[in-house]
Structure 1
Amino acid sequence: MKKVVDYILGSLYLLYFGLLMIIFHGVQVIAYRIFGPRAHQKSVEIFNLFIVAGLYMTGSTVSFSQKVAIPTGRTVIFISNHQSMFDIPGIIWFLRKYTPKFVSKKELARGIPGISYNLRVGQAALIDRHDPKQAITEILRFAKHISENHFSAVIFPEGTRSRTGRLKPFAVGGVATLLKKCPGALVVPVAVRNTGRFNPKGLFPLSSFTAMSWTTLDPVEPAGRTPEDVVADCEKQIAGFLGQNPA
């Protein structure tokens, strides 16, 4: 019976999600070309609000909490575990006051209505995972952009999704490059729970009645610490929150 419910509610949500992508692709183009980057960013935030709110259509729940307040007006590097594509809408909406920008693989910058356009004009870091030189150059450009504008960066050091929820080892390279160009940035770990359980086998079927959450943990001041130490601290906090041992 649960599978039947999953297919019905999942189908309804994906229809809703697809319509949002098409509608907000147009909204983003209009916002960016007529009103500029700030209006475009607002349209992206509203787009992701609708994505997150729509999760309730599947009987699922979403929640967000902060262990401590995070200062605004300062560049923040959010380090998050990665379970699913649904990690991202929650981060964009719940952390919107920090204007999060993503480090993403370049393949996502083409062919996905609403999402690819945002990655391109929103100046995300679009990296080629098979070309380390290009990846470093792109992250350096991205770091300069967020530092100058007091935006935030979001990076998934696991590199690929862990649909089981078990943490994969956190890589240091991307974080180290960001810290090099943003020496005054604050690093904040983000623990994402159960988005992988929501779509364990790809985009369909979705698992209804899933409780998903996003939680920011204790900020890490990188001054006087190596990137390896900073990433290890974040990995340990996220693993502890999820009831796991670091990978």
Structure 2
Amino acid sequence: MEVCITMIPSWFGGRGADYVFHSFYYWCKWTGIHTTVYGYELTQVDDPAVVICNHQSSLDIVSMSSIWPKHCAVMMKRILAYVPFFNLGAYFSGTIFIDRFNRERAMASVDHCANEMKTRNIKLWIFPEGTRNREGGFIPFKKGAFNIAVRAQIPIIPVVFSDYRPFYSKPGKYFKNDGEVVIRALDPIPTKGLTLDDVNELSDKCRDVMLAAYKEVTAEAVKRTAVRRGEALEDKKFY
């Protein structure tokens, strides 16, 4: 309910989920997670863009709050529109819901997203993996984010979060409140002149550059965590 109240001024101002994620930045301090951000300025441009990011767990909210793009909304599965209270917060934050399991409706959602982004001059945050991946690395990307970017002829801004497993694992049933997360925004990837026939190649290109960055930021996060704990740095890998 608190999130719903926070989102009301954001809704009137047409600012997407800006207010709630700026609030989350402070609300999440209790977790003990420290974030280091590179390329923050790349996400703060005024023009519409599709922001894509790897998806690991509900802790992504902590990471997102550290690099939340200006005037940005989130794309979610339509089923989440029926979760009480959550759906109100999502509505006030300008969330765009899509039906991923009906191809005809999904393609209509692509056009709707493209039009909404241009009309409202907002960015759209999308997890292209489509589901949480707790095993490290990336699972194959779904094509929705890339279809939207190409239809709207707007750039894609990749954002990469380091692996959380040095301090958190749901399968492993542990959480340590000394986590270090390294976040990097990468240079925008243009889509002007591309068509839907180019989507597969575009998706692969984005995934490749993000995976390379993921390995680098995870290596840095592992070192930062070890330093924070006073541990030796040798043989610490999580990717």
Given the alignment of the two structures, is residue 236 of structure 1 paired with residue 202 of structure 2, yes or no? no
| Pairing of 1:102-121 with structure 2 (within 5 A) | 102-111=74-83, 113=85, 115-121=86-92
Shift of residue 198 of structure 1? 5.1
Task: Answer whether contact 2:37 2:182 (CA < 8 A) is retained.
Answer: yes
Specify the code of the residue in structure 1 equivalent to 2:192.
Answer: A
Distance in 1 of aligned mates of 2:176 and 2:81: 27
Structure 1 pair 131/199, CA: closer, same or farther in 2 (3 Å)?
farther
Distance in 1 of aligned mates of 2:183 and 2:47: 21
For 2:222, the equivalent position in structure 1 comes to none
The secondary structure found in structure 1 opposite 2:191 is coil
Instruction: Decide which moves more: 102-111 or 158-167.
Output: 102-111
The secondary structure found in structure 2 opposite 1:36 is helix
Distance in 1 of aligned mates of 2:58 and 2:111: 25
Task: Answer whether contact 1:136 1:177 (CA < 8 A) is retained.
Answer: no
Cα deviation, 1:112-151, whole Å, max 9, x if unaligned, reads 54x4323223332212332222222223212211112221
Query: Among 90, 106, 114, which residue is 1:143 paired with?
Result: 114
Shift of residue 111 of structure 1? 2.9
Task: Answer whether contact 1:28 1:118 (CA < 8 A) is retained.
Answer: yes
Given the alignment of the two structures, is residue 201 of structure 1 paired with residue 170 of structure 2, yes or no? yes
Unaligned runs of 5+ in 1: 1-21
Structure 1 pair 117/37, CA: closer, same or farther in 2 (3 Å)?
farther
Shift of residue 188 of structure 1? 1.2
Task: Answer whether contact 2:16 2:72 (CA < 8 A) is retained.
Answer: no
Structure 1 pair 217/39, CA: closer, same or farther in 2 (3 Å)?
closer
For 1:53, the equivalent position in structure 2 comes to 29
Cα deviation, 1:186-237, whole Å, max 9, x if unaligned, reads 11111111346655227x7534322123210122112244222222221011
Task: Answer whether contact 1:82 1:161 (CA < 8 A) is retained.
Answer: yes
Distance in 2 of aligned mates of 1:201 and 1:42: 28
Query: Among 202, 217, 220, which residue is 2:186 paired with?
Result: 217
Shift of residue 169 of structure 1? 0.8
For 1:101, the equivalent position in structure 2 comes to 73
The secondary structure found in structure 1 opposite 2:183 is strand
Specify the code of the residue in structure 1 equivalent to 2:48.
Answer: T
Task: Answer whether contact 1:37 1:122 (CA < 8 A) is retained.
Answer: no
Specify the code of the residue in structure 2 equivalent to 1:163.
Answer: R
Cα deviation, 1:92-129, whole Å, max 9, x if unaligned, reads 552332x221121122233354x432322333221233
Specify the code of the residue in structure 2 equivalent to 1:79.
Answer: I
Question: What is the root-mean-square deviation in Å for CA atoms of aligned residues?
Answer: 2.9
**TM-score normalised by the chain length of structure 1:** 0.72
Specify the code of the residue in structure 2 equivalent to 1:80.
Answer: C
Structure 1 pair 140/123, CA: closer, same or farther in 2 (3 Å)?
farther
Shift of residue 66 of structure 1? 0.8
The secondary structure found in structure 2 opposite 1:102 is strand
For 1:132, the equivalent position in structure 2 comes to 103
For 1:154, the equivalent position in structure 2 comes to 125
Unaligned runs of 5+ in 2: 217-239
The secondary structure found in structure 1 opposite 2:175 is coil
Query: Among 77, 80, 88, which residue is 2:50 paired with?
Result: 77
Structure 1 pair 112/92, CA: closer, same or farther in 2 (3 Å)?
farther
Structure 1 pair 92/62, CA: closer, same or farther in 2 (3 Å)?
closer
**TM-score normalised by the chain length of structure 2:** 0.74
Query: Among 32, 35, 39, which residue is 1:66 paired with?
Result: 39
